[in-house]
Structure formats: C-alpha cells, structure tokens
Amino acid sequence: ATVYDACAAPGGKAIALGRTAGRVIAAERRKSRARRLVTNLERAGSGRGFAVVADAAAPPCRPVDVVLLDAPCLGTGTFARHPDARWRVRVDALDGIVAEQRRMLESVTPVVRNGGLLVYATCSLEPEENERQVETFLDRHPAFRREPGDAISAELLSDAGDLTILPQRHGMDGAFAARLRRAG
C-alpha cells in the first residue's frame, strides 16, 4: 500500500508504517520539523519513507491507499506525563483546534482512493476532537464508514469501534483513532 502521513514529524508513525507499506509519503509543513523527519527516516526508516515539506491543507499526492491524519490537538491524553501542559491549555483553544482538525480532514479526504482508508487520530481525550469530530465528518461524507481494525484488543475499542485509550483505565497516555473506509 501507499500511505500518506499528513502530519508526520518527528516520524515515529512513518517509520513504523514503512516496515509494512510499499511507500510512505511523510509530510510536514514546517521546514525545521521536516529536517528532523528526514533525519529520523534516514536513521531508523526502511527506505520506503519519503519526506516532503507540505501542509495537510494541500496534500502533495494523488489518491493513495491509506491516509493517516494524526491531527494537531490539545494533547490532553498526555497530561499525566506532561503535567505542566495543562496550564498551557485554555478553554477557548478547543474551538480553534476543532476547526483546524475539521479543515485538515476536509483537505485530505480527496486523496483517499475509492476503497481506501482514512485514519484519524489524536492524543486528546476531548469528545469534540474525537468522537464528535468523526461523527460530523461521517455526516458530511456518506461515502465513508467506520471500519474497526481486528488487530486491536476489544478492551481498547469504544462501542463505535474506535481506538480509545484512557490513562486512568489503561495505564498509558490517552489516544483516539478511527479507521474510516471510503466506499469502493
């Protein structure tokens, strides 16, 4: 498969994906972070990851098999590990980040080929950034449907089939991910 990682820096997911994918297009919009991405891909990658300087708002590729959007978020799932972060998060920041995530989702949608997957992920615990964001997306894009993966333990899946890791329940950083299949 060809994978487009829309927000790839520093490169951990692109490196992991490169172990099984045919090709990974790893995009980062900031040049300084893209340099770090290149370094990490060269150091630990499989040779199938290719870094590009590009914004998720303007995908640099034609339709691909899998699009990963690990979206910028409030990061509330990492507060246990980064307690100082809770002092940097403002209540009014939620609306802005949700709008940015929605714009990014809209921008990457055209590069998911028919039959392909869109994986939307955050390291946040906020329903507005996660379940509600996915529900809003699915309402606007009836060609997509949830497709839970079978490689994830059922205890980590929500009733809707989304990966939902809660620090207080699972003893690790919180995270969310939804697999969305485009009709073929």
Catalytic residues: 123
Q: Using alpha carbons, select from 147, 98, 140, 139 the residue that is nearest to residue 119.
A: 147
In order of 51, 54, 175, the CA distances from 61 in angstroms are: 12, 10, 27
Pairing of strands 23-28, 175-182: unpaired
Number of H helices, E strands in the chain: 5, 8
Residue 127, burial from CB neighbour count under 10 angstroms (0-12, 13-18, 19+) = exposed
Query: For the residues of 65-126, what is the DSSP string, one character each?
Result: EEEEEE-----GGGTTT-GGGGGT--TTHHHHHHHHHHHHHHHHGGGEEEEEEEEEEES---
